[in-house]
Structure 1
Amino acid sequence: MAARIWIFSVAVALFLSFSSAQDLQIVNAERRIDLSSHIVKAFLTLKVENIGKDPAADMLLAFPPTQIKHLSMVQAMAITGKKKKKTYLPLDVKPTEQPDAPNDTGYFLVSFATPLTLGETVTLEVLYILTHSLEPFPSEIAQSESQLVYYRDSAVILSPYHIKQQTTFFKTPSARVESFTSVDPANRAGKEIKYGPYEDRASYSYAPVIVHFENNSPFAVVEELVREIEISHWGSLQITENYRLTHGGARHKGVFSRVDYQSRRSISGSSSFNALLAVLPPKVNSVYYRDDIGNISTSHLRTGFKKSELEFEPRYPLFGGWRATFIIGYRVPLEDYLFEAPDGRRYLNFTFGCPLVETIVNKLTIKVVLPEGSKDPSAVLPFTVNQDLQVKYSYLDIVGRTVVVLQKDNVVPTHNVPFQVYYTFKPIYMLAEPFMLVSAFFFVFVASLAYVHIDLNIVKK
Structure 2
Amino acid sequence: MAPSPSSLPTAISSLLLLLLLAAAVSVYSSSPVLEGGIRVVSAEKRIDLTGSIVKVFLTLKVENAAAAPEASQVLLAFTPTEFERLAIVKAARAEGRRKKKMYIPHAVKASDLAAAPNGHRLYSVLLSSALKSAEVTTLEVFYVLTHSLEPFPAEITQSDPQLVYYRDSAVLLSPYHVLEQTTYLKMPSNRVESFTRVDPTSRTGTEVKYGTYYDQLPNSYVPILVHYENNYPFAVVEELVRKVEISHWGNVQITEQYKLRHGGARHKGVFSRLEYQSRPSISGLSSFKNLLARLPPRVHSVYYRDEIGNISSSHLRSDSHKSELEIEPRYPLFGGWHCTFTIGYGLPLQDFVLESDDGRRYTNLTFGCPLLDTVVDDLTIKVVLPEGSKNPQAVVPFVVEQHVETSYSYLDVVGRTTVVLKKKNVVGEHNVPFQVYYEFKPIFMLAEPLMLISAVFLFFVACIAYLHMDLSIRKS
TM-score class normalised by the smaller sequence: over 0.9
135 and 347 in structure 1: CA distance in 2 versus 1, 3 angstrom threshold: same
- The CA distance in 1 between the partners of 2:460 and 2:21, in whole Å, is 88
| Counterpart pick for 2:84 among 50, 69, 74 | 69
- The CA distance in 2 between the partners of 1:406 and 1:20, in whole Å, is 35
| Counterpart pick for 1:95 among 105, 110, 135 | 110
Q: Secondary structure at the match of 2:376?
A: strand
Q: Is this contact kept in 2: 1:29–1:167, CA < 8 A?
A: yes
Residues 353-394 of structure 1 show CA distances to partners (whole Å, capped at 9, x for unaligned) of 000010000000000000111110110011000001111111
Aligned match of 2:381: 366
Q: CA deviation at 1:459?
A: 5.3
| Counterpart pick for 2:173 among 155, 158, 174 | 158
- The CA distance in 1 between the partners of 2:390 and 2:31, in whole Å, is 55
Are positions 1:39 and 2:53 aligned together?
Answer: yes
Aligned match of 2:413: 398
Q: CA deviation at 1:97?
A: 3.5
Aligned match of 2:360: 345
Residues 51-78 of structure 1 show CA distances to partners (whole Å, capped at 9, x for unaligned) of 0521111110000111110000000001
- The CA distance in 1 between the partners of 2:382 and 2:32, in whole Å, is 47
Q: How does 1:252-401 map to 2 (within 5 A)?
A: 252-401=267-416
- The CA distance in 2 between the partners of 1:289 and 1:7, in whole Å, is 68
- Identity of matched residues, %: 61
Aligned match of 2:185: 170
- The CA distance in 2 between the partners of 1:194 and 1:254, in whole Å, is 38
Q: CA deviation at 1:11?
A: 6.4
Unpaired runs of 5+ in structure 1?
none
Aligned match of 1:24: 38
- The CA distance in 1 between the partners of 2:320 and 2:389, in whole Å, is 31
Aligned match of 2:198: 183
Q: CA deviation at 1:457?
A: 3.5
Q: Secondary structure at the match of 2:282?
A: coil
Unpaired runs of 5+ in structure 2?
1-18
Moved more, 234-243 or 97-106: 97-106
Aligned match of 2:64: 50
| Counterpart pick for 2:444 among 429, 436, 455 | 429
* TM-score, normalising length: structure 1: 0.96
* TM-score, normalising length: structure 2: 0.93
Residues 397-426 of structure 1 show CA distances to partners (whole Å, capped at 9, x for unaligned) of 111001100000000000000000010011
Specify the code of the residue in structure 2 equivalent to 1:328.
I
Q: Secondary structure at the match of 1:403?
A: strand
Q: Is this contact kept in 2: 1:19–1:161, CA < 8 A?
A: no
- The CA distance in 2 between the partners of 1:269 and 1:89, in whole Å, is 44
Moved more, 34-43 or 268-277: 268-277
Are positions 1:121 and 2:145 aligned together?
Answer: no
- The CA distance in 1 between the partners of 2:427 and 2:60, in whole Å, is 24
438 and 358 in structure 1: CA distance in 2 versus 1, 3 angstrom threshold: same
- The CA distance in 2 between the partners of 1:361 and 1:18, in whole Å, is 33
345 and 164 in structure 1: CA distance in 2 versus 1, 3 angstrom threshold: same
- The CA distance in 2 between the partners of 1:361 and 1:8, in whole Å, is 47
Aligned match of 2:256: 241
Q: CA deviation at 1:7?
A: 12
Q: CA deviation at 1:312?
A: 1.1
- The CA distance in 2 between the partners of 1:405 and 1:17, in whole Å, is 40
| Counterpart pick for 1:80 among 92, 95, 102 | 95
Are positions 1:14 and 2:28 aligned together?
Answer: yes
| Counterpart pick for 2:149 among 120, 134, 150 | 134
Residues 265-318 of structure 1 show CA distances to partners (whole Å, capped at 9, x for unaligned) of 121111111211100010000000001100000110000111100001111100
- The CA distance in 2 between the partners of 1:7 and 1:353, in whole Å, is 51
Q: CA deviation at 1:20?
A: 8.4
- The CA distance in 1 between the partners of 2:20 and 2:108, in whole Å, is 35
- The CA distance in 1 between the partners of 2:360 and 2:246, in whole Å, is 15
- The CA distance in 2 between the partners of 1:331 and 1:9, in whole Å, is 65
Q: Is this contact kept in 1: 2:36–2:71, CA < 8 A?
A: no
341 and 17 in structure 1: CA distance in 2 versus 1, 3 angstrom threshold: closer
Larger radius of gyration: 2
Q: Secondary structure at the match of 1:249?
A: coil
| Counterpart pick for 2:424 among 399, 409, 418 | 409
Q: CA deviation at 1:12?
A: 5.1
430 and 82 in structure 1: CA distance in 2 versus 1, 3 angstrom threshold: same
53 and 22 in structure 1: CA distance in 2 versus 1, 3 angstrom threshold: closer
Specify the code of the residue in structure 2 equivalent to 1:39.
I
Q: CA deviation at 1:166?
A: 0.5
Residues 318-372 of structure 1 show CA distances to partners (whole Å, capped at 9, x for unaligned) of 0000000000000000100001111111100000000001000000000000011
- The CA distance in 1 between the partners of 2:193 and 2:21, in whole Å, is 41
Q: CA-atom RMSD, angstroms?
A: 1.8
Q: Is this contact kept in 2: 1:16–1:203, CA < 8 A?
A: no
Aligned length: 457
- The CA distance in 2 between the partners of 1:212 and 1:302, in whole Å, is 38
Q: Secondary structure at the match of 2:393?
A: strand
Q: Secondary structure at the match of 2:460?
A: helix
